[in-house]
Structure formats: structure tokens, C-alpha cells
Amino acid sequence: MSVSASSAPTAATPPVLEARGVTKVFGGLTAVDGVDLEVGEREIVGLIGPNGAGKTTFFNCLTGMETPTSGRISYRGRTLSGKPHRVTESGLARTFQNIRLFPNMTALENVLVGRHCRTSQGVLSALGRGPRYRREEADGRARAHELLQFVGMDRHAETLARNLPYGDQRRLEIARALATDPGLLLLDEPTAGMNPQETASAMQLVRRIREQGLAIVVIEHDMRFIFSLCDRVAVLVQGQKLVEGTATEVQQDPRVVEAYLGKPVDGG
């Protein structure tokens, strides 16, 4: 029996994210080749494919870390600029395949870094530490504690990031991304290196994030995780989108079976 995907939102609303013909060429190598992708409100979309298929490069194009050679990317109908901080301000946030925390900062401080793009106080206000600055700082700390509690890490607020267990570091990176108040969260291999219990906990967390109203795109090599979690799955092979559909459709597509899965994933 195939692993079933969670049910997708049914409201007919404009896409949160729309990517059209996204291409990225490095010298003579085409890493991403004309990829289209739409993500709807409160939808979880999986992005899978072999190593070197272009998944992370595609993420980098979406978030402004790489400038597409051609193509168009828009968020809620607005074309995104190529600068990462502008993309974050627009409403996209991401985690990374290789964890990128500030190791000598506490968990709370790492989340506060994520709040920076939502602060309104300038340099003079910060230097003067006036009432508005103090109020915004207090609000930021309260929000950071709230997010740490949401991901199950409030008890580690004052722990240095480098001293956290691996699974907690992954959760902390998600909390920092959520601190930017995104409408779309991009997760790059969120269960990499996790044991089965940690992976199950990560799946529950992603579902809870969706319940908060966010749309999510996730890159992952754990097929059970992807097919149990996602409303739709897109498969990249050699930089091109091979197929896109529900978990069942993707598992049963002979091109996917041949190019990536080897055989349909069995839920028994």
C-alpha cells in the first residue's frame, strides 16, 4: 500500500509562490533548466531528486542567493528582487542543508537575529535606547521565546547553539526562519542526520507550521517523510522537472521509478 499524502487545501486562491522558467547556468553547466513551480496557500510541496539534480540551486534562486540566468519568480503576485534580505522582507524564509547557526550565540540570540528584518528602529534610536526601542526589544524577546516554545526548545533558550544536540539545532534553525514572519517557508533537508524519532517529530512540526497559515516547500531525501507529508511532489532530474503530482502519482510514474526511486515506496 502506498504512503498517502496529507490532504491539500481546496480554496481556489492565487499562488503564494510562482516560478516560471527558472534557469541557472554556471559557466557551461546548466544546474536548473526551465523549472516551473507553484505553491498555494497553506500547501506543502516536496522537491525531490538525485544528488546534483539542482534542488538546492533552485532554492538559492528562489531566495536571492543566486540570480537566475533567466525566468521569473513572484511571491503573492509581486516579482522578487535578487537580494536575499529583500526576499526575506517580502515573506520568504529558509533553512539550509548544512546548519548555519551562530554557534557562540544562545538559542534565544539566534532567534532574535531572525527578528532583525522586522525591526523598525534605526541607529539613533538604538543608541539612545528610548522607549520605542525598549518596547520593540521586549516584544522581540517575547516573540523569540514564543517561537522557541513552539518548536519545543524554550528550556534551551540560554544554551549556546554549539552545545545543542543535532536535532535541536535543526529545530532552532526553523525557529530562526519563523522569526522573520514568513508566508512561505523553504526547508532544505530538515531531517538530514536525524534518527526515526527525531524525523517523526520534525514531520509533526512541519504540519503545525502549516496550521499557522504558512505554505511550505521542502527538499528531502527521506521518501517516507516526503510522501507522508506533502500535498504535491515535484521531481528534479539533471536540473529539469521530470514530473509533478500527488504522492501516489509520483510513486507510480515509471519515469520516477526508473530515474530515482528504483521501485514504488511501500507503506507496509
Write down all domains in the chain, each with its CATH number in brackets. 1-91+184-191+214-268 (3.40.50.300), 100-181 (3.40.50.300)
Residue 219 has pLDDT above 60, yes or no: yes
Residue 83: band (very low, low, confident or very high) from pLDDT cuts 50, 70, 90: confident
- What span, in angstroms and rounded, lies between the C-alpha atoms of 255 and 261? 9
Residue 252 has pLDDT above 90, yes or no: no
- What span, in angstroms and rounded, lies between the C-alpha atoms of 17 and 217? 10
171-198: per-residue pLDDT in tens? Answer: 999 999 999 999 999 999 999 888 999 9
Compute how many other C-beta atoms are within 10 angstroms of the C-beta atom of residue 168.
18
Residue 98's pLDDT is 87
Average pLDDT over residues 100-123: 81
pTM across the whole model? 0.85
Higher-confidence residue: 179 or 117? 179
19-65: per-residue pLDDT in tens? Answer: 999 999 999 899 999 999 999 999 999 999 988 899 999 999 999 99
Helix, strand or coil, per DSSP, at residue 35: strand
Residue 133's pLDDT is 64
Residue 239 has pLDDT above 80, yes or no: yes
Beta bridge partners of 75: 17, 78
Distance of CA 136 to CAs 117, 143, 219, Å? 13, 10, 34
Average of per-residue pLDDT values in the chain: 87
- What span, in angstroms and rounded, lies between the C-alpha atoms of 175 and 131? 27
Helix, strand or coil, per DSSP, at residue 11: coil
Residue 14 has pLDDT above 60, yes or no: yes
